[in-house]
Structure 1
């Protein structure tokens, strides 16, 4: 997503009607977010309540932005289709910000959202869109590529640490998740895994990671990794692309979650003939629009 231009928020997107605005979650160090709100319907003069999606953008931990053109196009389309309130977290990037701190930023962003629930405390009055329109019985987490890796790590933490106000994550989806490791999976080549971009980026950005490329943060199948039964969500969907080098890792992840004893539902969506993050970088394609509709249906499944 390098070179993708910044897109300012607007009160009504001309294509989708979605409103957006930028807010600051924390000043120092800085964490921001972009909120996306679909056109609302007036029902008995009461604020319309919407499912909430907390979203983490991709970009290999070091590029990309919640304010980029690609993410704006993707999320406004998804928000209009699913009729949800999306909060896209603008976390700090590596290498200036170490990778573990990126996970902390994204956890803090989720906790900030949860703080707006009825029992979340004084922070509930800070952001009217969340306080007025957020349905905290329907909170989901999602991400693409490195953002999907972040979402996985946030979900593992949510399985151990409570969210403010007793908020629960009802569902989560990971599109083309960034997982890697030292041993091949599926039809991956038996040699050269350390030359793959996913390996090079991780080891360059996080050279001090315990167990290196087999850290459970990037390799959830590594020996000694926490059980995936601990994922803190009720339903999970993983999407993979047929031409994506990370495809086998995503499919293995689904299998491992199912075999772990995870109590929720697990779904997989495989799109043949497409490459990594196609639904974002070429979001206007029919295949991308079909996937976005599938993700919207998943988010609304429990509604």
Structure 2
């Protein structure tokens, strides 16, 4: 007989997340939250937390300056975690942002969007757009508007980038489509975007996949968990940009695109198709593909000291510092 203290399970997506009938959410992966640092000992990067809106927060990163009036590229970054885990305030993301900020000499706004299941999609997309609008709004002179000093003093608003890993890479794709259709405050333009190991999926097999593998794949279950009301389910254009009713990739709102993939990542095949589809779409920009041999999903965040991780981070840094 079960103990009275045993909770009834509603959703079990181990080893990632469990949800109980009493509403309790148990996240089984991810790294602990850590505070920002006035100056990271390893990289010299400074960080601080800010409130963008009543519901959206961010951690800002400022590299060590060689000139107090230095203007920097700006990266608006969206973390991974399947839309339901990890955080802009986590140890893994803090370490990654410190390294990327030091390498790129870019000012980074790492967005803390709200997570499913407490806040199902499309909330994360809306929060991510709000954060980008907030960054762009710093070019507008409006009485009484509170501005972030690091942005007003050091941001080069002609060099705005968006980037993300895994679910964050998926967010970047959707943000770029929206930016191509809706103007940002002050008519700020996005120069470039990077999608690192982006999360794309769908109901139709590609290459060596089978229908059974598609249906049983974790991402199929995950998408329906984080976005239960998604029109079209796993073929919603936000997760499957290749369906007939998806917005044209020719509308991506940037001039440069970098897609980074890993050989042993199950998502890589769709990442390659994404790059090919962008090239065929008539999009008027430059797209580059980097595929790292022998590596797995988001390896550069999990172990940034590996040589291949260092190489990939340098590639990302080079992209956002141009």
Normalised by the length of structure 1, the TM-score is: 0.95
Matched, 1:218 2:239: yes
1:93-134 CA-to-partner distances (Å, cap 9, x unmatched) read 0111121121000000000000112x3635765210001100
- Give distance in 1, aligned partners of 2:194 and 2:277: 15
**Cα pair distance change 1:286/1:241, threshold 3 Å:** same
Which residue of structure 2 lines up, in the alignment, with residue 92 of structure 1?
Answer: 114
**8 Å contact kept, 1:4–1:70:** yes
Give the counterpart of 2:86 among 64, 86, 98.
64
Q: Does 1:23 align with 2:50?
A: yes
Matched residue, 1:270: 291
- Please list, as runs of the form range in 1=range in 2, the aligned pairs for 1:152-191 lying within 5 A after superposition: 152-191=173-212
User: Does the CA-based 8 Å contact 1:120-1:165 persist in structure 2?
Assistant: no
Moved over 6 A (4+): none
Pairwise CA RMSD of aligned residues? 1.3
* 1:39-188 equivalence runs, <5 A: 39-42=64-67, 47-117=69-139, 119=140, 121-122=142-143, 125-188=146-209
SS at match of 1:280: helix
CA contact (8 A) 2:30 2:85 kept: no
Select which of 21, 33, 37 maps to 1:6.
Answer: 33
Larger Cα-atom Rg = 2
Using a 3 Å threshold, how does the CA distance of structure 1 residues 176 and 123 change in structure 2: closer, same or farther? farther
Q: 1:64 to 1:120 in 2, by over 3 A?
A: farther
**1:131-152 CA-partner distances (Å, limit 9, x unpaired):** 1100000000000000111111
Q: Distance in 1 between matches of 2:145 and 2:42?
A: 31
Q: Which residue of 2 aligns with 1:246?
A: 267
Structure 2: how far apart are the matches of 1:284 and 1:121? Answer: 44
Which range moves more in the overlay, 205-214 or 121-130? Answer: 121-130
Q: Tell me: CA distance 1:250–1:121, structure 2 relative to 1, closer, same or farther (3 Å).
A: farther
Distance 1:66 1:26, change over 3 A: same
* Alpha-carbon distance in 1 for matches of 2:286, 2:142: 31
Q: CA deviation at 1:12?
A: 0.6
1:37 partnered with 2:62: yes
Q: Name stretches of at least 5 consecutive residues in structure 1 with no aligned partner.
A: none
* C-alpha distance in structure 2 between counterparts of 1:242 and 1:102, whole Å: 28
C-alpha distance in 2 between matches for 1:233 and 1:141: 9
3-state DSSP of counterpart to 1:188: coil
- What's the TM-score, normalizing by structure 2? 0.89
State how many pairs are aligned: 295
Superposed displacement of residue 256, structure 1: 0.5
